[in-house]
Each structure stands twice: as C-alpha cells, then as structure tokens.
Amino acid sequence: MNGYMGQVLYVNLSSGETRVEPLPEEQARAFVGGSGLAARIAWDMIDRHTDPLGPDNPLILMTGPLVGTAMPSAGRYSICARSPLTGIWGEANSGGFVGPQLRFAGYDGIVITGQASEPTWLSIVEGQAELRDAAALWGLDAYETQARVRQELGEPKARVVCIGAAGENRVKMAAVMNDHGRAAGRTGLGAVMGAKNLKAIGLRGTAQVPVAHPDALRDTAREITHNLDEDIPAIAIQLAGTAGYVDMALMYGDMPIRYYQQGEWSAASNLSGVLMVDQFQNRNTACYRCPIACGRETRAPSYGVDAVDGPEYETLGALGTLPMIGDLEAVIYAGHLCNVLGLDTISAGATIALACEMFEQGILTPANTGGVEIRYGDAAMVHRLIGMMARREGFGDLLAEGSASLAERFGVPELAVTVNRLEVPVHDPRAFAGMAAIYALSPRGACHMQGDMYGVDTGQGAPWELGVPPGDRFETSEEKGRVAARQQAWRNLYNALILCQFQNPGVEPLLAAFNSVTGWELQADDLMTIGKRIVTLKRQLNLRLGLCRADERLPDLLTRPLTEGGTEGNVPDLDALLRGAYAEYGWDMETGQPGQEAAAALQLET
C-alpha cells in the first residue's frame, strides 16, 4: 500500500495488551486517513450507549497518506473519539512533528481502548510498543511531561503527545498537547485521555513512508513551494501568523466582541498581529517540512515568561475580544496558561466570557462563584479562572463542564453561544454567512476548520475547479449553501490526507501529490466525492449517537443583528443555506438522514 505503513497499533489499557492489525486497503481507499479513516474505525466500535469517559470509548490517533512524505505542510495528525463535551463525534488535529514520527515509528494510527488501573504512558520506538508507569509524570504540566518522556526514552528527538492538569481532571474542554504548545484542542479529547489514565505517548522511529512515484512527488513539492512566493495569504501568515488576520477580521466584523454582542471596540486593535510581531515576538516556528512557518514564539516579560507558543488568532479572540481584554501581553499569558495546563483556548475563553455576561446580568453572583467577581475586562480574573477550570477548583468545576452546561445549570440555556454544545469559534457567521451552514452541519459542533467560508469569500484558497468560487459574504441563498457544503467536503478531505489548511496549492497540484504518493490515479472530481463520503459517514455516526435535525441551529445571540461594525444589520438565513447544503450532500431535509444514493456511497455494512 503506497502512501501507508499498512498497519495500526491497538492498545487495551485495561488488559495491558498491544497488538498490530493490518490496515484494510478498501477502508483506506474509501476514507483515506486522518479523521475520515478514524470515523470508519469508530463506526464499528461506538454507539449512543458508549460513555465518552468510559473504557469502551476508543481514542484514535490517525495519520494520512501525505504525512511524513516530501509534500510540504503535511505534518499533522488527527485524534478522535466520542466527545465528552458534546456527546457526538469528536475530532481534533494538530501540527508539529507527531504525525510524521508516528509513521516513522511504523504505524498509520493507534486505537486505544480500556482504562489503566494506574497512570500510564505509551512508548512506541521503532515499531515496538510498551506501556510504562506514569506515576512520576502525573501532575506535571504539558511542557514538563514532554521533556520527561524524552528523557525516559533516551531520545532527545522523540515527539510526545500528552495531557496537562485539565486532561487529568477530565475537564470537558481539555486539549491534547504536543511539540511544546501545539494543541489538538477542540471537543475535549484530553479528558478522554485522562479518563483512560493515559498521560502521554512517546514516539520515535526511522521507517520511511512508501511512495509510488517519489520523483513525481518531489517535482510537485518543489512546484508547490516555489509558488508560495506568489501566494499572498501564505506570505501574510509567514509575516504575522494567524494573528495577522486580526485587523482584517475587525474590519469585516468577523472577530466577535463582548461575548458575540458588540460590533466595534477600539481596544481590539491592541491585539493586532503586527503589534505582536513588533513588541513580543521571539521567532517564527514551523511544522514538519513546512515552508510557511506560521507558528510564533512570543514572550510575556511582565509575567516572567520568556517563551510562549502562540497565540493564534482564535486565542486572541477567545481570551481577548470575547471577555474584553485589550492588553496584548495579558492575552499572550492567558494563552500560555492554557498551553501549560492543556486547555482548548476557544472553549475556555468562550466559557469565561459567558460567565462574565451572566455575572453582569445578575444570573451569577459572588455567592455562586465562591466570592470571585467575574467581570468583563479583568485580565487577572481570566488568568485565575483558567487555573481554577483546569484544576476543577471551586467555581472552576462548573466552568470545566463547558458553556452549554453552565448556562443550563443557571436556567439560561439560550445564552450559550454553542452549536451542538461546542463553543462557536472566533468567526462570526453574521460576517460571512456561509459559516452559518458550516457551524450547523459541522460533524463536531461549531467549527471554523470544517469549512472556512471566510477564506473562500476573501479569495484565500478556494478550490474554484470544484465549484467553490468566492462570492458575496452576506449572501444566504441555497446556492451559497451548496458552495458551503462543497467547501466542507474539501476540508474534510484535507483532514483525511492530512494537509494543513494554510497550504492551498490548488486542486491539480494537490491531486498530483496524492496520486504520486498512492499511485491511485484519481481524477479531480474523485476528491470531492471522497470528501462528501467522509462528511456523510460522520453524519451517520452522529445520527447513531443521538443527533437530530432540530440540533442544526444557530445560538440565539448569533440570530440578533448588530447595530454597528462590519456586520451591521446582517443575519444569515440559515434555512435557505441548509436547503442548499442538504441538496448538495443528498440528505433528506425533513429527517436529516442521507438519501439512498448518498448512503450507498458510504460503502458501509449497516
């Protein structure tokens, strides 16, 4: 199987058994890898009775055929399970070097079940898997854990996947950390890892990924890298990272302010990526074979921290504009705390901002919060709540359950800005209407990485050849819904290959790389077919887990037009968008079920 190591490692933490199984070629051809192939594996293992924090919930790490090859920006891995935060399909992915090292260690993926009786970590070196005692690691932060595992392996270049305090304490928004401060952040998969008493996975190997046509792949990789000199979005990310989007986002009204309720705020400009580069940046950082180098190492000298990983755009919004923190250094430090403790910055920041709103409305009082005054604009309070949340201390125990749970507990479920219980990220669907359909139909709940319509409508990486042209950002027609569905399918293919979404070489170069690696001789239209198949598989899985058509809605606050800023007066027509998206996927608009033709394309035995 060119493009694949051809085997998956299965680990049962309850029994201590490890075994190796061949990767079925028919599943790889249908679902490729990453979260697509992980969903196919999970299909045979979970149903609505599976406890997300129980031993039967499989935690699946999966790579894709491009990972660890000469393809630029293909250094990612996916981690998937039933989400403890949302109850539906949970997936996250992260860059760095873990994905390639998993393949070099001999495997396309790892499927972890059971629950260890004591803290445990997993060593995989040159194909040999071993469970080890993690008693000395439990309680260490994410950075300390990575350093200690490398030390115990005697492998300074080993790569480590781990959890911090949030994962140990089963915080519903706990991230899985790797490569210092990189995070597979969303849907709380760090809590799944913690519930299994699995502190870390250490990886090291020297195997090579088999490639069908290595010379053709090298030629394509050189062409893609050369063309980056003319890729304006990629150049912008090189210069200021994702934080470079802050000023443009504020202009469009895409960066939500004051818990999604305010259209303008002068202090938001203090969070500009340009200022971050000028005042706090140490250096750029890059993932495996990535010529873009979007990562940032910054510093927060006022807080005694010389090296901080990030922050990214989402962190600047979630821990900055949502709770009204306009001090850039304070937001950098808040992001650092999340990295150290292993928290998803989006869900953590949004939940803290919700608490600010509830406190301002009198729904929360000091009697509910243990005496903590939770007010917009208080950076010290945000820093304190991040620690309380990760450790489940006092009021932090309620925050640790996420926004939907917090709002429900105090009788105001309509206040939670979530879709399918996942906090809405820092892209407002009132600014780019296509995002409304993306959020409603995202397999993991509200997610900007399941179809970046803000990128499409600003001309950044849209696959025109596959029917995804840039358009009017406020358009809410059925055709716009179809375009959103195609972009969602495209990004689900990306998350299967796995390729970083900042690498947008165009359909033909990507297809050339895919075929060079696998030797499959696919056509351009096949890429969209595979993407739709993956989305529909995840759809079927979510329906099995209890998702229903009524769940596809925007939260109340996002249906209210703002009176100022870049979205003034605009609210997307979600029904029209969904009609188009459903038609594109071949799903029934009334039941939410895939139609006969769409279901047949899944290639599942149901």
Q: The domain spanning residue 272 has which CATH number?
A: 1.10.569.10
- The total of structural domains in the chain comes to 3
Quick one: 415 and 462 in the same domain? Answer: no
C-alpha span between 152 and 148 (Å, rounded): 6
Which value, in Å, is the radius of gyration of the alpha carbons in the chain? 22
Closest CA to 534 of 468, 452, 444: 444
Task: Answer with the one of 401, 422, 443 that is the final residue of a domain.
Answer: 422
DSSP bridge pairs for 62: 78, 109
Quick one: 29 and 149 in the same domain? Answer: yes
CATH number of the CATH domain containing 517: 1.10.599.10
Q: What would the pLDDT profile of 481-514 be if each residue is shown by its tens digit? A: 999 999 999 999 999 999 999 999 999 999 999 9
For 587, phi then psi, to 5°, come to: -105, 155
Q: Which helix (H) or strand (E) holds 29?
A: helix 25-31
Q: Which residue has the tokens 């006969």?
A: 596
Quick one: 308 and 450 in the same domain? Answer: no
Q: Which residue has the tokens 């609505």?
A: 48
Would you state the pLDDT for residue 229? 84
- Give helix 434-441 / helix 478-497 axis angle, nearest 10°: 50
Six token digits for residue 559: 């249906």
Is residue 562 domain-resident? Answer: no
Quick one: 12 and 154 in the same domain? Answer: yes
Quick one: 365 and 347 in the same domain? Answer: yes
Which SS3 state, helix, strand or coil, does residue 354 take? helix
C-alpha span between 154 and 142 (Å, rounded): 19
Six token digits for residue 286: 């890059």
Q: Which helix (H) or strand (E) holds 167?
A: helix 165-168
Quick one: 277 and 168 in the same domain? Answer: no
- Please, are residues 385 and 374 in contact by the beta-carbon 8 Å criterion? yes
Give whole-number Cα distances, 176 to 67, 302, 603, in Å. Answer: 19, 28, 31
Beta strand ranges found along 415-485 (DSSP E)? 418-419, 422-423
Quick one: 444 and 406 in the same domain? Answer: no
Would you state the pLDDT for residue 232? 82
Would you state the pLDDT for residue 17? 98
C-alpha span between 552 and 544 (Å, rounded): 16
Quick one: 446 and 484 in the same domain? Answer: yes
Intervals of the chain under pLDDT 70: 604-606
Six token digits for residue 506: 């165009």
- Please, are residues 537 and 31 in contact by the beta-carbon 8 Å criterion? yes
Quick one: 47 and 145 in the same domain? Answer: yes
- Please, are residues 565 and 265 in contact by the beta-carbon 8 Å criterion? no
Q: Is 435 left (phi over 0), alpha (psi -120 to 50) or beta?
A: alpha
Six token digits for residue 414: 């309509």
CA dihedral 18, 194, 405, 451 (to 10 degrees): -60
Quick one: 331 and 282 in the same domain? Answer: yes
Largest separation between any pair of C-alpha atoms in the chain:
67
Quick one: 434 and 410 in the same domain? Answer: no
- Please, are residues 363 and 412 in contact by the beta-carbon 8 Å criterion? yes
Closest CA to 565 of 263, 262, 252: 263
> Which residues, 6+ apart, have CB-to-CB distance to 364 below 8 Å?
355, 358, 374, 410
Is residue 563 domain-resident? Answer: no
Residue 364's CB: how many other CB atoms inside 10 A?
A: 22
Is residue 473 domain-resident? Answer: yes
DSSP bridge pairs for 178: 161, 182
C-alpha span between 9 and 198 (Å, rounded): 16
Residue 461: domain span: 430-553+573-600
Would you state the pLDDT for residue 606? 44
C-alpha span between 13 and 580 (Å, rounded): 45
C-alpha span between 512 and 583 (Å, rounded): 30
Is residue 448 domain-resident? Answer: yes
Quick one: 97 and 150 in the same domain? Answer: yes
Which SS3 state, helix, strand or coil, does residue 300 take? strand
Is residue 330 domain-resident? Answer: yes
Q: What would the pLDDT profile of 181-218 be if each residue is shown by its tens digit? A: 999 999 999 999 999 999 999 999 999 999 999 999 99
Q: Which helix (H) or strand (E) holds 122?
A: strand 120-125
